[in-house]
Structure 1
């Protein structure tokens, strides 16, 4: 029975690996995007500088990586990076990823278990209910992690210090890749600066490195 259980667990692990490999072969992702702002209709994207929160300054290497991932999306929207004193707008960018464990019914299975405690009548030797220990079939669950990613861009007019545009994107999957960050920033800036339905789903292509 132990061999049967081990074989079934190995089979489930292989299936999980195949699932991850299949997800990694996707060519695009559908990202949930929410945007708000008061960007003037006749204002063109211009020069920008990045400003950092104290927490971002304390983790400069990580923030450098996040800002590098956002750069292509900002350039595609028409922005050009310059020193702070020359910028039309100041931009903050952020990102985070976290895991949420979820029990997957497709990866779970019935298996022989020899560690079940039960509560019930024990007859004929004993009368009345009681606790006992017995082997039997049970259901083994597999916790599959969901990776939740979020990115955000905040645009502030440098002279007035007013926030003129804010956009956020979120994506959840069972696989993760650093190449997702640029794609999510692209989705977040996809409709800039036009008014758009919020929230909405934006589909963007993944770079070859993430497929």
Structure 2
């Protein structure tokens, strides 16, 4: 019995250690495919395109690097010279102070970059029943729009968002790009929840 108790204790400790070393990024994903006859998404070559507002933005460059890794994981190949598709990358992030129910306190929103978080601004009020300090929550969203260069038609559109307590923006944004392509190239209809485990 003593030996059995020791084995159970060791197994429980290993389980808890494993759980403590990982976290789940739960993303809300909505993807739509609109592929005309003769267009093949699997294994297609692509290049990035940028909106005028993204030109010269180093954040856009980092987002494209993260998106490129996620696109490679589903079989797409970056080839600027022989591209069949263009890929437009979108990303945004905000942080806020959360009330006891997880909703944002008014006036506590602040933008965050893809590479790091920034301190939230002033104008925060503290009332009865509010935890002090109130927890900071982060909302991040990414999007990918794939367009057939020959016809100009959008053939795949996907976006993924996540709300959570983690401040490591680079890791979370990279995970969101993976989640956005979780069902590529044949996504199910309607919003989907995609869970990806990453180290703490």
Q: TM-score, normalised by structure 2?
A: 0.69
Question: Which runs of structure 2 are paired with 1:121-140 in the superposition (5 Å)?
Answer: 139=128
Q: Which residue of 1 aligns with 2:176?
A: 184
CA distance in 1, matches of 2:174, 2:191: 20
CA distance in 1, matches of 2:173, 2:76: 19
Question: Which runs of structure 2 are paired with 1:49-60 in the superposition (5 Å)?
Answer: 49-59=47-57
From the superposition, tell whether residues 88 and 146 of structure 1 become closer, same or farther in structure 2 (CA, over 3 Å): same
Quote the offset at 1:53 in angstroms.
0.4
Q: Which residue of 2 aligns with 1:33?
A: 29
Q: In the alignment, does 2:85 pair up with 1:93?
A: no
The 8 Å contact of residues 105 and 141 in structure 1, kept in 2 or not, is answered as no
Question: Which runs of structure 2 are paired with 1:149-168 in the superposition (5 Å)?
Answer: 149-168=140-159
* Structure (1 or 2) with the larger CA radius of gyration: 1
Determine helix, strand or coil for the equivalent of 1:103. Answer: coil
Question: Which runs of structure 2 are paired with 1:1-150 in the superposition (5 Å)?
Answer: 25-40=21-36, 43=40, 44-59=42-57, 61-83=58-80, 85-104=81-100, 139=128, 141-142=130-131, 143-150=134-141
Q: Which residue of 1 aligns with 2:16?
A: none
Quote the offset at 1:72 in angstroms.
1.4
Quote the offset at 1:164 in angstroms.
0.4
- In structure 2, the gaps of 5 or more residues are 1-18, 103-126
Give the count of matched residue pairs: 153
Note the aligned Cα RMSD (angstroms). Answer: 2.4
Deviates more, 1:95-104 or 1:159-168: 95-104
- In structure 1, the gaps of 5 or more residues are 1-22, 107-137
Determine helix, strand or coil for the equivalent of 2:55. Answer: helix
Q: 2:186 aligns with which of 177, 187, 194?
A: 194
Determine helix, strand or coil for the equivalent of 1:39. Answer: coil
